[in-house]
């Protein structure tokens, strides 16, 4: 472990471990198992672009020593990520593409895959490294089944959030509220991570660079949708973490929502305070892929957000645009740095071990 990184606590809010179908087979019952084993069924996957590296969307140097996909080997991840950076904790967000919640049709298969993934994750990752905490994957197309899955694995001590993919689903919709009810019941946070499907007027933009530039717009849509649908009034203990969307879009979004609320609040009477206050209290944003910037620029964004508690560091390991804890952010004030690298995440995941005398409340 490098001495430099040992100097600060680090909670990494976005690590992608990866399962292959063959690894999931032992966790699947028939007929689901047979569809993959005998029928060679695969999930839809269509990203129509050349990929940024020879390892696709992953770091080329994260391919495992025996040639396996990046993120597929715990030992190698421990060495390359957790030990190297001195992680206190890391939150696993998976890499089953697309998420079961994004599968079109055949929700039963999606439900079976989510369950198998959760069991595989618990056995092979969460119970093998004290530093790793996990995400409950669900097939939200059928909220009743999704809630059953949350009930089944959500009380596992290493499960800290329910993962919802950002796709074409408006997650504020009352149809999905049973999921938030279950989250509160199990002290789980909600993590939202964009999935591969389109954000561009519902279609694919022409280039990967466009798609990647536009990722925050889909995060903005979800935040606005959650706020104006009154989710945080209905579930006052809910924590929402927006993952892999960065944070530089947040000042605009807060300002814009507030202005619209001043003018149009009669339309959403269930929202009973300023959207920016709701965001400050309930929503966190993970840093990666953070733009290169000076401390002055960074602090301007923090000033515009009106809070030091909203940004949580993430590496997004093993993706191609991995952010190093040592290099990604400018030098910041020590207290703020502590919040961003660990304490904001700790406060947003109630099931993470809490510090005695923590600086955040």
Q: Is residue 252 within the footprint of a second copy (CB under 8 A)?
A: yes
Binding mask 1-40 for a second copy (x = CB under 8 A): ----------------------------------------
Q: Tell which one of 249, 282, 284, 351 touches a second copy (CB under 8 A).
A: 249
Applying CB under 8 A, which of residues 99, 161, 224, 288 lies at the interface with a second copy?
224
Q: With binding defined as CB under 8 A, does residue 202 bind a second copy?
A: yes
Phi (first) and psi of residue 231, to 5 degrees: -60, -40
Rule CB under 8 A: choose which of 6, 34, 104, 200 binds a second copy: 200
Distance CA 154, CA 164 (A): 14
* CA 315 and chain centroid, separation: 12
Contact by Cβ (8 Å): 163, 94: yes
Q: Is 259 in the site for a second copy (CB under 8 A)?
A: yes
Which position among 203, 236, 331, 357 is part of the footprint of a second copy (CB under 8 A)? 203
Residues 94 and 133: their CA atoms lie apart, in Å, by 11
- The residues in 154-173 that bind a second copy, with binding defined as CB under 8 A, are 167-170, 172-173
Q: What is the DSSP string of 218-232?
A: HHHHHHHHHHHTTHH
Told to check if 44 binds a second copy by CB under 8 A, we report no
Q: Among 196, 205, 280, 355, which residue sits at the site for a second copy (rule: CB under 8 A)?
A: 205
Alpha-carbon distance of 236 to 205, in angstroms, equals 37
State the minimum distance, in angstroms, from the CB of residue 155 to a second copy: 32
- Supply the minimum distance, in Å, between the C-beta of residue 225 and a second copy: 6
Give every CB contact of residue 61 below 8 A, 6+ residues apart in sequence. Answer: 80
Which tokens sit at 270?
A: 């269930």
Rounded Cα–Cα distance for residues 11 and 292 (Å):
21
**d(C-alpha 181, C-alpha 189), whole Å:** 11
Direct distance between the N- and C-terminal alpha carbons of the chain, in angstroms, rounded to an integer: 30
8 or 194: CB nearest a second copy: 194
Residue 300 sits in the site that holds a second copy (CB under 8 A): yes
Does the protein bind a second copy through residue 175 (CB under 8 A)?
Answer: no
Angle at 253 between CA 251 and CA 258, to 5 degrees: 100
DSSP state of 328: S
State the number of binding residues for a second copy (CB under 8 A): 61
Q: Which one, 130 or 297, has the nearer CB to a second copy?
A: 297
3-state secondary structure of 274: coil
Measure the CA dihedral 117/122/125/126, to 10°: 140
Among 54, 67, 236, 292, binds a second copy (CB under 8 A): 292
117 versus 261: smaller Cβ distance to a second copy: 261
Query: Interface with a second copy by CB under 8 A: which residues?
Result: 49-50, 52, 167-170, 172-173, 198-203, 205-210, 212-214, 216-218, 220-221, 224-225, 228-229, 246, 248-249, 251-253, 255-265, 267-268, 289, 291-293, 297, 300, 303-304, 321
């Amino acid at each position: 472990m490098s001495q430099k990184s040992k100097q600060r606590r680090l909670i990494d809010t976005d690590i992608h471990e990866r399962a292959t179908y063959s690894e999931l087979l032992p966790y699947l019952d028939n007929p689901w198992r047979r569809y993959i084993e005998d029928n060679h069924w695969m999930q839809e996957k269509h990203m129509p672009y050349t990929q940024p590296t020879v390892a696709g969307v992953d770091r080329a140097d994260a391919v495992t020593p025996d040639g396996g996909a990046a993120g597929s080997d715990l030992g190698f991840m421990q060495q390359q990520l957790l030990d190297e950076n001195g992680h206190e904790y890391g939150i696993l967000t998976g890499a089953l593409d697309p998420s079961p919640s994004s599968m079109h049709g055949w929700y039963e298969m999606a439900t079976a895959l989510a369950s198998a993934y959760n069991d595989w994750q618990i056995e092979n990752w969460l119970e093998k490294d004290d530093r790793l905490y996990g995400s409950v994957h669900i097939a939200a197309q059928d909220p009743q089944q999704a809630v059953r899955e949350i009930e089944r694995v959500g009380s596992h001590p290493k499960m800290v959030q329910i993962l919802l993919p950002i796709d074409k689903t408006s997650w504020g919709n009352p149809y999905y509220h049973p999921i938030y009810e279950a989250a509160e019941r199990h002290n789980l946070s909600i993590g939202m991570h964009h999935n591969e499907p389109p954000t561009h007027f519902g279609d694919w933009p022409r280039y990967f660079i466009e798609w990647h530039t536009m990722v925050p717009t889909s995060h903005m849509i979800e935040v606005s949708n959650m706020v104006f649908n009154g989710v945080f009034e209905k579930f006052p203990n809910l924590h929402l973490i927006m993952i892999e969307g960065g944070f530089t879009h947040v000042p605009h979004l807060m300002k814009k929502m507030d202005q619209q609320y001043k003018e149009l609040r009669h339309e959403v009477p269930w929202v009973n305070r300023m959207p920016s206050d709701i965001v400050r209290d309930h929503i966190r944003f993970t840093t990666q892929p953070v733009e290169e910037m000076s401390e002055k620029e960074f602090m301007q964004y923090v000033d515009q957000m009106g809070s030091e508690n909203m940004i949580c560091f993430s590496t997004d390991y093993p993706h191609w645009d991995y952010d190093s804890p040592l290099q990604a952010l400018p030098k910041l004030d020590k207290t703020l740095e502590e919040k961003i690298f660990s304490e904001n995440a700790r406060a947003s995941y109630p099931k993470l071990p809490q510090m005695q005398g923590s600086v955040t409340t």
